[in-house]
Amino acid sequence: MSYTSYNYLFIFLGITFILYTVFPKKYKWTVLLSASAVFYLINSGRLIVFLLLTAVSIYFAGIFLNKINDGFALAKKGLEKEDRKKLKANILWQKKAVVTAAVLFIFGILLVLKYSGFFISAAEFFAGIFGFKPHFKTFKFLLPLGISYYTLQAAGYIIDVYRGKYRATDNFFKLALFLSFFPQIVEGPIGRYDLLAEPLSA
């Protein structure tokens, strides 16, 4: 369902607009989330599982970073300067480990689905230079809708949380809306959570 199709412009957007208008302000964001889920399922079907994997991993990584920060805020009280430095260094290492694991995971999904064929071809090419003629099995994966966009948005979100720009949200569904918002998931632009969270939830 393209953005210029009759079904999108008159049926999908029409129903979404009516529901968004009718629903109380407090729950309008659920209309946008539902519309985004329907739009994604229509266009990518079961491949939505990869979007969910990204959302779940980033959500729990963010919650973990919140807990680390909260624990540090409590633990540093009453500590001497040197002890506080040591604790801060340990906390920083923990945060780096969390954000690194999360980013590697979501970009790993992107690389496997989008670029595995390229890497296999490159490996065969370089092996051929040295006289080897391997024939690796090539897998052709269907690409989830907007995988590059939502992966970059997810990475930007968790890196901002790591840097202390804002706390990670404790609402998984609002994070899922941020990653899957249907007007931008196909053609962008790549959104920033601190700029979109409030408008999407209003």
99: its two tokens: 């954000």
16 three-class SS: helix
Q: What is the pLDDT of residues 142-164, one digit of tens each?
A: 788 899 999 999 999 999 999 99
- For residues 58 and 168, what is the distance between their CA atoms, to the nearest angstrom? 9
DSSP state of 10: I
Closest CA to 43 of 114, 124, 147: 147
Residues 6+ apart with CB under 8 A from 45: none
pTM: 0.83
Q: In the predicted model, is pLDDT for residue 119 greater than 60?
A: no
Could you tell me if 48 and 182 are in contact, meaning their C-beta atoms sit under 8 angstroms apart?
Answer: no
Cα 151 to the center of its chain, rounded Å: 5
